[in-house]
Amino acid sequence: MPTPGTDQIDLRSDTKTMPDPEMRRAMAEAEVGDDVAGEDPTVGRLEEMSAERLGKEAGLFVASGTMGNLVAIKTHTRPGEEIILETWAHIYRYEASGLSMICGLLPRPVTGVQGRMAPEDVEAAISDGSNIHRARTGVLELENTHNIAGGTVLSVAQTRELCALAHAHHVPVHIDGARIFNAAVALKVDPADLVAPADTVQFCFSKSLGAPVGSMLCGTREFIEQARRFRKVIGGGMRQAGVIAAAAIVALQKGPGRLHEDHAHARQIAETLAELPGIYVDLTTVETNIINLEVQRDDVDAPSLCLALETCDILAVPRDDRHIRLVTHVQVTDEDTDRVCRALMEILG
């Protein structure tokens, strides 16, 4: 389904999708109540469905991925502790410093390869607080898929290994699984197996699953009850939120089953790009719906390439002068993908 009413193809992000008619209908007909008092049946249903899907005891519906991560990290830690995360983790780079401003944490970044931290580097970063000069590690955060690395996935085995070593040091693990269903589809595994080793996971309805709003935090029942209190503190207690949860239910039911299409589209675009002169794409990172490309030419840079694409009704944003991220999603069809490839060949060939 193209962006309604236009021929525009929006590759800026999978957050740009519009609710489809089924979502809008579900929203209009949703049974609602006051969710702060636990009285919204649609939110309750979404939380139960999500927890079951991810093999966790309970779920907490939150406004955004940022809120899900923040509530999780705040619940896991105490001010003055450290959080171990990958150098390019979304929570570290793009969540407006909530970690420090609100949780009072010291980030301890570990540089990964394609977004994957080596277990020995994570272990070396863990501090039990016995050294008076060092803060104690409060939580280990993993991101799957890793956005900035290009949608790369962390396998079940890699997740298990990192979680096992964190747990051996009594450190809990939170997964920023904004696109966890993409990871599960790419790896052909059950998402529950992918997150089983971790204590908590946050995933987004409003990215590749195609809903307009919302994310879910899943964990033990006890953890979720504590997180619910903190969600209230930061103003995340929503009232008749069933109106948005209804669209998320449709997204959870229909979204995961079609993600392989987005991955195939991303692959097709990446392979086209890789053949073009002066364009670099590391095809080994194109595992899901994100393509990172580097412009290595004198006649064109990333901003001018985005402008040229815009004249073809294709939207993309430069990350800097040389790099562009392209993201495929439910509103990018087979025909759209062909059109993107043809436009790229015309502009750059």
Select 183 or 270, whichever has its Cβ closest to ligand TLP.
183
Minimum Å distance from CB 146 to ligand TLP? 7
Give the DSSP letter of residue 131: S
- For residue 42, give the amino acid letter: T
Does residue 168 belong to the site contacting ligand TLP (CB under 6 A)? Answer: no
User: Please, what is the minimum distance in Å from the beta carbon of residue 198 to ligand TLP?
Assistant: 15
Query: Which one, 95 or 136, has the nearer CB to ligand TLP?
Result: 95
Cis before 145 (ω within 30): yes
Of residues 17, 77, 127, 147, which one binds ligand TLP by CB under 6 A?
Answer: 147
Q: What is the distance between the alpha carbons of residues 90 and 179, in angstroms, rounded to a whole number?
A: 12
Smallest distance from ligand TLP to CB 147, Å: 4
- The reply to whether 87 sits near ligand TLP by the rule CB under 6 A is no
Binding-site size, ligand TLP (CB under 6 A): 14
| Cβ neighbours of 332 (radius 10 Å) | 28
- Name the residue nearer to ligand TLP (CB basis): 65 or 255: 65
> Interaction with ligand TLP in 106-145: which residues (CB under 6 A)?
143
Structure tokens given for 189: 């595994």
Task: For residue 194, state whether it binds ligand TLP (rule: CB under 6 A).
Answer: no
- Closer to ligand TLP at the Cβ: 91 or 348? 91
Nearer to ligand TLP (CB atom), residue 116 or residue 136: 116
- Distinct helix (H) and strand (E) counts, the chain: 14, 13
Q: Is the peptide bond before 137 cis (omega within 30 degrees of 0)?
A: no
Quick check: 152 binds ligand TLP (CB under 6 A)? no
Of residues 12 and 25, the one with the C-beta less far from ligand TLP: 12
Which CB sits closer to ligand TLP, 137 or 147?
147
Residues 207-226: x/- map of binding to ligand TLP (CB under 6 A)? Answer: --------x-----------
As given in the structure block, the two tokens for residue 331 are: 């509103």
The single residue listed with the structure tokens 């193209």 is: 2
To which H or E segment does residue 119 belong?
Answer: helix 119-125
Nearest residue to 142 via CA among 106, 118, 169, 170: 118
Q: Return the residue of 11, 163, 178, 187 that touches ligand TLP, per CB under 6 A.
A: 178
Residue type, 293: L
Which amino acid, one-letter code, is at 209? L
- Is 329 a binding residue for ligand TLP by CB under 6 A? The answer is no
Residue closer to ligand TLP by CB (options 290, 340) is 290
CB 142 within 8 A of CB 99: no
Contact between 90 and ligand TLP by CB under 6 A: the answer reads yes
Cα distances (Å, whole numbers) of residue 274 to 170, 199, 277, 322:
44, 39, 8, 15
CA–CA dist 31, 240 (Å, integer): 9
Give me the residue label for tokens 């197996």. Answer: 193
- Residue closer to ligand TLP, measured from CB, 20 or 143: 143
Compose the 9-38 pattern: x for residues touching ligand TLP by CB under 6 A, - for all others: ----x-x-----------------------
Neighbours of 171 (CB within 10 A): 24
Name the region of 59 (left: φ>0; alpha: ψ -120 to 50; beta: rest).
beta
Interface segment toward ligand TLP; rule CB under 6 A; list 20-28, 62-70, 132-140, 190-198: 62-70
Map residue 318 onto helix, strand or coil.
strand
Residue from 43, 51, 195, 204 in contact with ligand TLP (CB under 6 A): 204
Binding residues vs ligand TLP (CB under 6 A)? 13, 15, 64-66, 90, 94, 143, 147, 176, 178, 204, 206, 215
